[in-house]
Amino acid sequence: MDLTWPATLACGTRPELLLASVTDGDSSVPASHITTCPSCRDALRQLRPRLDVLQRTGTIPAAAPARIQGQVLARIRHLRAGALVEIADGGGRTAVSADVIASCGRMAAEQVEGVHGVQVTLRSPGLVLEVRLIVGFERPIPEVVAAVRLAIDAMVEHQLAITTAGIDIDVADIDLPSVA
C-alpha cells in the first residue's frame, strides 16, 4: 500500500522537507519543532520504517563484481598500446586503428600551404595527435601551425566523428629555398 500525503501537514510543514530534515540534516524544519509537533511525529512514525528500507538497500552492493575490473583494464591496455581508439556511434562499440587516425591527420596537414613534410602519431591516454612538421619559407610558421591544427581537427571530426583532446605540433625543420 502506498502512502499519499497532503502538500503540507496540519502544522504547515511540507512532508518532503520533514523527511529531508531527518535524513540529510536539512535545516528547513527545526529539530525542536519535529520533536514537539504531533503532526510531524505521526508522519515520521509512518515514514521511518520505509526510510530504513531505503537506507538499508543503499549498502547494496558491497562491491562491484570483480570481473568488471579485469574487463576495464583489458580495454585500457588495448587503448594504451595505441592499437585501437574507441569511438561512439550510438549503435554499439566501434574501434578504429590508431594508424587510421594518424593517416587522416597526415592527409589534412599535407593539404595546408607551407607544409613540406608531415609525421603524425597518436598518444594515449586521451586522443592527442603529435605532429612533426617540415615547413616551407613562403608562409609565417605560426600561420602554418594554426592552419594545420584547424585542418586536422576538421578532418578527424568529419571522417571519424572524433574530437581530439589536443594536437601537439613540433616544427622539426624548415625547407629553405635553394639559392641558384
Partner 1 sequence: MEAAEEAALVHRAQQGDVAAFTDLYQRHSRWVFGVALRLVYNPGEAEEVTQDTFVQVWKSLPRFRGESQLRTWIHRICVNRCYRSNTKRAAHRSEELPDELVSTDPDPGTVAVLRGEMADLQRALAALPQGLRAALVLREFGGLAYEEVADALGITLTAARSRIHRARLQVVSQLSAPPTPIGTGTTGPFKEASA
Per DSSP, the three-state class of 14 is coil
**Grid coordinates standing for 120?**
603524425
Q: How many CA atoms lie within 13 A of 154 on its CB side?
A: 11
Q: Per rule CB under 8 A, is residue 75 in the interface with partner 1?
A: yes
**Grid coordinates standing for 64?**
562491484
Q: Per rule CB under 8 A, is residue 101 in the interface with partner 1?
A: no
For residues 128 and 122, the answer to whether their CB atoms sit within 8 Å is yes
DSSP codes of every residue in 103-133 = HHHHHHHHTSTTEEEEEEEEETTTTEEEEEE
Q: Per rule CB under 8 A, is residue 9 in the interface with partner 1?
A: yes
Q: Per rule CB under 8 A, is residue 6 in the interface with partner 1?
A: yes
Q: Per rule CB under 8 A, is residue 25 in the interface with partner 1?
A: no
Give yes or no for a cis peptide into 61 (omega within 30° of 0): yes
Residue among 12, 32, 35, 65 that touches partner 1 (CB under 8 A): 65
Site map 110..139 versus partner 1, x via CB under 8 A: --------------xxxxx-----------
**Grid coordinates standing for 35?**
520533536
Q: Per rule CB under 8 A, is residue 52 in the interface with partner 1?
A: yes
Q: Per rule CB under 8 A, is residue 19 in the interface with partner 1?
A: yes
Per DSSP, the three-state class of 87 is strand
Residue among 27, 36, 46, 97 that touches partner 1 (CB under 8 A): 46
Q: Per rule CB under 8 A, is residue 47 in the interface with partner 1?
A: yes
Taking CB under 8 A as the binding criterion, the range among 18-26, 98-106, 148-156, 172-180 that sits at the site for partner 1 is 18-26
Q: How many CA atoms lie within 13 A of 42 on its CB side?
A: 8
Nearest-approach distance from CB 88 to partner 1, in angstroms: 8
> CA 170 to CA 180: how far, in whole Å?
29
- Site residues for partner 1 per CB under 8 A: 1-6, 9-10, 15-17, 19-20, 23-24, 26, 39, 42-43, 45-47, 49-58, 60-65, 67-69, 71-73, 75-77, 79-80, 86, 90, 124-128, 165-166
